[in-house]
Amino acid sequence: MFDELKPHIAELRVRLAYSMGALIVCFFVAFYFYEPILEWMTLPLKEVLPDDSNMIATGVPEVFFTAVKVSLFTGFLMALPFILYQFWLFISPGLYEHEKRYVWPFVFFASGMFFMGAAFAYYVVVPYGFAFLVNFAEQVVTVAPKINEYVGFFTKIMVGFGIAFELPVVTFFLALLGLVDDHTLKSFFKYAIILIFVLAALLTPPDVVTQLLMAIPLIILYGVSIIIAKIVNPYKPLDDEDDESE
C-alpha cells in the first residue's frame, strides 16, 4: 500500500515545492513595497480613529514583524492563482479527461471568488466592525491600537471571507465528481445556517451588524451552491436510478 502512495507523495512534494517557491518570490516582492501596502491595510481603521489618536508599536521589533506579516499575506494573494493551479495539477490524474478541461475555469473562479470575499471584507465588514469597536472603546479609554494586533485581525478577516466565498466553486467540483447533489445541500441547510453564524461570530467583531454582514452573504452563497449542484448533479430518487439501470 505504501508503494502505491509513493508516486502521489512525490507529486505532492513537487507541487508544494512549486507553491512555496512562488510564495517566497511574491513575499520578497511584497516586502519591498510593504509600506504602501500597510498604509492601504490600515486605512479603514485610520478613518474611524479619533483625530488625536494614532496606531502604535510597543516593541522595537514589532514594526519589522508586522512588515513580515503584511508581506506574507500580500505574497499569498499574489501567488494564489499559481497555488490553485498546482493544486489542480496534483488532483488531475484522478479526473476523467472531460473533467480536466476545467483547469482554467477552476483557477479563474476560485481566485476570483477569494478576491471577491476579501474585497467584501475590506470595503464593507472591516469599516463597520472597527467603527463599532472604536466608538465603543472611546467612551472609556483613549484608543491607540497596536499595529501588529490590527494586522493580525485584519488578515484573519480577509482570509476568512476569501475562503468562505469559495463555497460555490467547491460545490461545483464536488457536484461534478458526484459527491454532493442539491438534495444533500437542502437537507443540510438548517445545520449550515448554524455553522455560518458560528463562523461569523468567530471572524467578525462582536456586534450584530458585522456578524450579519458576513452571515447573510454566506447564506446567499449557500443558496447559489444548491442551484449549482442542481444543474451539475441533480438529485435522482432511488426509483429513477432503478429504472435507469433496467
Q: How confident is the model at residue 223 (pLDDT cuts 50, 70, 90)?
A: very high
pLDDT above 70 covers a percentage of the chain that reads: 92
Letter string b/e over residues 154-176, b meaning 16 or more CB atoms within 10 A of that residue's CB: bbebbbbbbbbbbbbbebbbbbb
Asked if pLDDT for residue 238 goes beyond 70, the answer is: no
Kind and range of the H or E run holding 219: helix 208-232
* Closest among 4, 168, 166, 178 to 99, alpha carbons compared: 178
Q: In the prediction, which pLDDT does 186 show? A: 92
- Name the least confident of 136-140, 151-155, 179-183: 136-140
- Name the least confident of 27-31, 111-115, 130-134, 154-158: 130-134
Write the pLDDT tens digit of every residue in 71-105.
999 999 999 999 999 998 888 877 777 777 888 88
Query: How much is the pTM?
Result: 0.87
CA dist 241 and 234 (Å) reads 12
Burial of 59 (0-12, 13-18, 19+ CB in 10 A): exposed
* Closest among 42, 32, 27 to 153, alpha carbons compared: 42
Asked if pLDDT for residue 240 goes beyond 60, the answer is: no
- The answer to whether 70 and 30 are in contact (CB under 8 A) is yes
On average, the pLDDT of the chain sits at 85
- The answer to whether 75 and 26 are in contact (CB under 8 A) is yes
